[in-house]
Chain A
Amino acid sequence: MTINAQNKSYSSPALEFKSTMFSVPVLGVASDDLVLIEQLLNEKIKLAPEFFKHSPVILDFQEVNKKQLTIAIEAVVAVIRKAGLFAVGVRGGSDLQHQQAIELGIAVTANTEIKAELPKTPKIITAPKDDAQASDDSTTVLITKPIRSGQRIYSHGDLIVLAQVGAGAEILAEGNIHVYGTLRGRALAGVQGNAEARIFCSDLQAELISIAGHYKISDDIQGAISNTPIQIYLQKNALVIKPIA
């Protein structure tokens, strides 16, 4: 049986959009001197050739434009290619530069911090729906009553829950999550990519915990100590569950 036939027999869709988060280096261009750019770039690559090998980069023209220097995107892209990198995006350029980028088949990304460029999961975009409660600003959200199965709470900052979070409930925060009751539902901290976010809870029985997209389901957590105050944080892209000493 060929792979194709196998795929068909499982009736998997031909296309599927998935949202994942990964980091892309941003190359800030601050000069219009292409020779200098090439020289500096090669010096950098020499430091970590494996890391930069075929790496995608986003070009940031904010600095060079601030200095009122004109630079052709096409020329910069050629230098990048020569160095073995792939320009996948442009930001901070003028309208003309963005137009040039699109003609070259390079995406124009938002001119803000990286985290805004990271794909958001659809769940998060549609956050305040029906029985979800959400705050409008980035301040801490405080919940004093139990969060019941089927409820969703979203906080643009930290989220503090003084009661329990029921199985089938979902709490999301762009910052840290603190649960002073039993955590049985899903808790997702740093949902916009903040890897520094942490989850604190007094009794961990969660269905799922996640920080900045790195998650563990209850089967993986089971070994962890329940009924003890714990904290969860991200260390080298791995979730660490530790009792609070």
Chain B
Amino acid sequence: MARIIVVTSGKGGVGKTTTSAAISMGLAKKGHKTVVIDFDVGLRNLDLIMGCERRVVYDIINVINEEASLNQALIKDKNCNLLSILPASQTRNKDALTQEGVGKILEELSKEFKYIVCDSPAGIEQGAHLAMYFADDAFIVTNPEVSSVRDSDRILGLLSSKSQRAEKNEEPIKEYLILTRYAPERVKSGEMLSLDDVQDILSLDLLGVIPESKSVLTASNSGNPVILDEKSDAGQAYGDIVARYLGETRPHRFIEGKKGLFRKLFGGG
């Protein structure tokens, strides 16, 4: 049975698509058959980040409307053949997504894939609702600033009340925190919320902290998920996140500012 992961945040521009691309690539690289679905109908971006925008023929709306089969719409990733991408439609809007249609697609994908990563659009409307509705796990992407934290809190409320698991009274969705664009220096100077401040409000299982990094922008623009850039701190941080999600224990990094190796290892764990 596949595990359905929703990457969500409420607020826009916090790094949901970057995170979706990175972790789906990370899971596939670890040998798990993975598919990543773009739910941002009308504002599709995942194909750009994954570098497959030239190969989009059919999209999720075509599949829902039965104008194309799932296999026709799925795009095999150029870097890793265990990873597939189901793009969003750019010409439609989110109302074209139906609960029945999405449910059917996820059911069919579950037969073939081990992990299904749903890249949620911002907001709490239809697109975001359907991206989270069928989820087993939720990755809450949050920036260390108040509005993002509050929006994440709101999304967590919806996860626990408006998902299929909540409606069927099943075991609740497992919620994880991914704190992105974290800059320890700015935390120290008081410009940014600290991890503790964020956790004070959200109190979630921390999957990892992604440091503010130039490599993220470079990777996005070149269409290569940042996790493939193993030299970059953001790439390594996503690598840690995937490993932790799969059950490995790794010390948390990038929470404290630049330090010697010794203190890094024994510092902010």
B158–A150 touching, CB < 8 Å? yes
User: Whole-angstrom distance from the CB of B6 to the nearest CB of chain A?
Assistant: 16
User: Whole-angstrom distance from the CB of B238 to the nearest CB of chain A?
Assistant: 26
- A91 at interface by CB-CB < 8 Å: no
User: Whole-angstrom distance from the CB of B260 to the nearest CB of chain A?
Assistant: 35
User: Whole-angstrom distance from the CB of A145 to the nearest CB of chain B?
Assistant: 7
Q: How many residues of chain A have a CB within 8 Å of chain B?
A: 18
- A164 at interface by CB-CB < 8 Å: yes
Kindly list chain B residues whose C-beta atoms are within 8 Å of the C-beta of A146. 156, 203
B154–A184 touching, CB < 8 Å? no
A167–B157 touching, CB < 8 Å? no
- B44 at interface by CB-CB < 8 Å: no
A151–B201 touching, CB < 8 Å? no
B158–A166 touching, CB < 8 Å? no
- A56 at interface by CB-CB < 8 Å: no
A168/B153 contact (C-beta < 8 A), A146-B203, A182-B200 known: yes
Give CA–CA (A151, B157) in the complex, Å: 6
Give CA–CA (A147, B157) in the complex, Å: 7
Contact size range, B: 10 to 19
Give CA–CA (A210, B160) in the complex, Å: 26
- Which residue in B150, B153, B161, B203 is a CB contact (below 8 Å) of A133? B161
Give CA–CA (A193, B162) in the complex, Å: 32
B157–A169 touching, CB < 8 Å? yes
Which A residues, 130 to 171, have Cβ-Cβ distances below 8 Å to chain B?
A: 130-131, 133, 145-151, 163-164, 166-169
CB-defined interface of B242-256 with A at 8 Å, one 1/0 digit per residue?
000000000000000
Which B residues, 158 to 185, have Cβ-Cβ distances below 8 Å to chain A?
A: 158, 160-162
Kindly list chain B residues whose C-beta atoms are within 8 Å of the C-beta of A147. 157
Which A residues, 161 to 191, have Cβ-Cβ distances below 8 Å to chain B?
A: 163-164, 166-169, 182, 184
A131/B157 contact (C-beta < 8 A), A149-B150, A167-B150 known: yes
Chain A, residue nearest B124 (CB): A150
B160–A145 touching, CB < 8 Å? yes
Kindly list chain A residues whose C-beta atoms are within 8 Å of the C-beta of B203. 146, 163-164
B161–A151 touching, CB < 8 Å? yes
Kindly list chain A residues whose C-beta atoms are within 8 Å of the C-beta of B157. 131, 147-151, 166, 169
CB-defined interface of B132-159 with A at 8 Å, one 1/0 digit per residue?
0000000000000000001101111110
A148/B200 contact (C-beta < 8 A), A131-B161, A131-B162, A133-B161 known: no
- Residues of A at the B interface (CB closer than 8 Å) are 130-131, 133, 145-151, 163-164, 166-169, 182, 184
Q: Which 3 pairs between the two chains have the least Cβ-Cβ distance?
A: A148-B157, A131-B161, A149-B153
- Residues of B at the A interface (CB closer than 8 Å) are 150-151, 153-158, 160-162, 200-201, 203
19 A/B residue pairs, CB under 8 Å, sorted by A: A130-B162, A131-B161, A131-B162, A133-B161, A148-B153, A148-B154, A148-B155, A148-B156, A149-B151, A149-B153, A150-B157, A150-B158, A151-B157, A151-B160, A163-B203, A166-B153, A168-B154, A169-B157, A182-B200
